[in-house]
Amino acid sequence: MKSWTKNQLKRIRIALMLNSDKRNKYLKKHQVFKEMGNNVFFQPRIIPSDPKLIKFHNNIIVTSNVTFVTHDIFHLGLNNMYQEPFAYEQNCIEIMDNVFIGCNSTILGNVKIGPNALIAAGSVVTKDVLPNTVVAGNPARVISTFDEYVEKRRKKIPLTTEEELWRNFTNKKNK
């Protein structure tokens, strides 16, 4: 019970850290995840319930509100329905090098992502994401290669001011 309370207090502390850089240093220093390589930016403030089942390699960006589901507690419902013990199911998640995971995505257990992969915002990843791919949707499907995405981004002209951004937005919408 003491370990459970300590872990819950740690999760609350992490959730209350507003500065993501400090939060990332804390996550790495206290070995919250099974593995956390170099240059991992973890923006979510809610830590998965089983963080030791998640490995992050190097150069990874996990944006806000990403959910990692490492367990399935439906055994409770099955136990009540059939009056017999069903097993609690847990699975690992591994994120390889050079991965970006967009806002509000969900990564299910028993999934390996990357390397060189991009998960679009709002995606639900139910199976492995192959190296050098961009996936999107529910369930997530391949929409391009990572290299194609990088080339497309290289061609974009950076807009730096608010006025430039609004002018570009208006021009696109008026076409």
Sign of the four-CA dihedral 165, 171, 174, 175:
negative
- Of the listed 30, 57, 71, 75, which one is catalytic? 71
Helices (H), the chain: 2-16, 20-29, 75-82, 146-154, 162-174
Instruction: Say if CB 101 and CB 107 are below 8 A apart.
Output: yes
Is 71 among the catalytic positions?
yes
Q: How far is CA 18 from the centre of its chain?
A: 18
Q: Which residue has the tokens 């490492």?
A: 70
Query: Could you tell me if 21 and 3 are in contact, meaning their C-beta atoms sit under 8 angstroms apart?
Result: no
* Helix 2-16 / helix 20-29 crossing angle, nearest 10 deg: 150
Question: Is residue 43 within 8 Å of residue 20, measured between CB atoms?
Answer: yes
Structure-token pair, residue 93 = 């998640």
Catalytic annotation, residues: 71
